[in-house]
Structure 1
């Protein structure tokens, strides 16, 4: 019996660590309540050389988005980050390094990662950042403690495109549109041409269905 309980606990803990929607270690917003036909398009891991094409499409279809930026990428593409800000989109923290070892970092190391990126974000936006998305959606007690120290609002998602894993554009597109509903938060990455192709189709779909995309900060406002 004790072995079964232990295995169950370990299984639940592992699941909780890898599925941010469960709010197992910390509280995250993965959708929002609204009476409007609104969703939130979010892009992780940029800015990159592909981001300008994403911005072009968003401008063409008059949509706003939130970009969860890696600090190193902000240093590599400062002009693109400035364009994101200038065009009315939101920038937020996605750690400095986006290390594959992030789940093993101690609390102080995580805080250093967060602070490095926040400094860069404040230089671009002129204001303090309050929003964070953990790489890979992974959470654990150290990440939770660091998030509390930084007083972040953690943002998850309820529509995961898997655009970094799936190669077929049609499969990615169908994963998204089959789940779109008002108050949804869509996870994309501004890191590939296939995502740009999917994004254009998605924006056409949104216009036809009369959806608009708002920033995460606007979602929080609507949620209140």
Structure 2
């Protein structure tokens, strides 16, 4: 077939026409395949989106259920809370974040004052530059408000013992304990401008009168931010027929058994023997390498073990 012949041009025309038909068809087929593939991808992504949406919805519903459950629990706890927790809402102090340990430290503490004996003890403590802690009672405090103010002014800790010191009354119930405590706590606050943050149970935290409720009292007082202190060294000065020398040795002979010692003494009117040996006691303890400090509610408490 010669180039330029009629047959040649016929074939050329047929070829061009064929290409004009095949190219769009091929392109359409390719586009169709791509569209199909894209459609499948979109379908897959749509399925994943639906799954994620369902999971988010389930998570939201789950969180809402948890929140609702927590609210019910909280409501139940509020409903189950003992009624005495609502008593005396102002009787609370800032609770310590953690307790501090003070090695080789002695905390001298006096119960049942204030009285004229307290003033003698304050004179000795001032002379020796020793801080101490005084757990006071109601009647003696009301009779000696000036001594309360002196205790605070001279840098000692003023703590609460009881108002009435009547075991049968104060340990009749948690409510009874709170009522007694608030009476003396509020009096001290109004008299000195200081809110006591520490206290000592009458008879110690565990005794024959409070065995049925002491854990409830402890929990409630801790909830209000207070810290209570028992003792690990007793002077024995509340015992009958004790001598001044025995009081001295009851303290100095037992201090070295403890790295941190809380010493129990008393400062009622009938505790003059304690005052008579206080200066010698301080000198002996200092010679043993101990330092003195006062109790605060961030000092790690010395407490009796719960035996029942």
Q: TM-score of the superposition, structure 1-length normalised?
A: 0.77
Structure 1, 214-223 or 124-133: larger mean CA deviation: 214-223
Secondary structure of 1:163's match? coil
Q: Is the aligned partner of 1:66 residue 2:145?
A: no
**In the alignment, what sits opposite 1:155?**
229
Kept in 1, the 8 Å contact 2:185–2:195? The answer is yes
1:50-79 superposed Cα distances (whole Å, 9 cap, x missing partner): 110000000111100000011221111100
Structure with larger Rg? 2
Seen in structure 2, the aligned counterparts of structure 1 residues 143 and 163 have a Cα distance that, compared at 3 Å, is same
**In the alignment, what sits opposite 2:248?**
173
**In the alignment, what sits opposite 1:164?**
238
Quick one: which of 262, 272, 288 aligns to 1:209?
A: 288
Rounded to whole Å, the distance in 2 between the matches of 1:153 and 1:163 is: 25
Seen in structure 2, the aligned counterparts of structure 1 residues 119 and 103 have a Cα distance that, compared at 3 Å, is closer
Larger fraction in helix: 2
* Structure 1 runs not aligned, ≥5 long: 1-31
Quick one: which of 195, 212, 215 aligns to 1:144?
A: 215
Rounded to whole Å, the distance in 2 between the matches of 1:38 and 1:97 is: 31
Kept in 1, the 8 Å contact 2:148–2:192? The answer is no
**In the alignment, what sits opposite 2:63?**
none
Higher relative contact order (CA 8 A, sep 6+): 1
Secondary structure of 1:101's match? helix
Rounded to whole Å, the distance in 2 between the matches of 1:128 and 1:84 is: 13
Seen in structure 2, the aligned counterparts of structure 1 residues 127 and 52 have a Cα distance that, compared at 3 Å, is closer
Kept in 1, the 8 Å contact 2:169–2:176? The answer is no
Kept in 2, the 8 Å contact 1:33–1:222? The answer is no
Shift of 1:149: 2.5
Q: How does 1:22-171 map to 2 (within 5 A)?
A: 33-35=101-103, 37-102=104-169, 104-137=171-204, 138=207, 139-150=210-221, 151=224, 152-166=226-240, 167-171=242-246
Seen in structure 2, the aligned counterparts of structure 1 residues 87 and 128 have a Cα distance that, compared at 3 Å, is same
Kept in 2, the 8 Å contact 1:64–1:89? The answer is yes
**In the alignment, what sits opposite 1:21?**
none
Provide the aligned C-alpha RMSD in A: 2.3
* Structure 2 runs not aligned, ≥5 long: 1-99, 303-308
Rounded to whole Å, the distance in 2 between the matches of 1:96 and 1:180 is: 30
Structure 1, 61-70 or 207-216: larger mean CA deviation: 207-216
**In the alignment, what sits opposite 2:262?**
185
Shift of 1:38: 1.6
Q: How many residues align?
A: 191
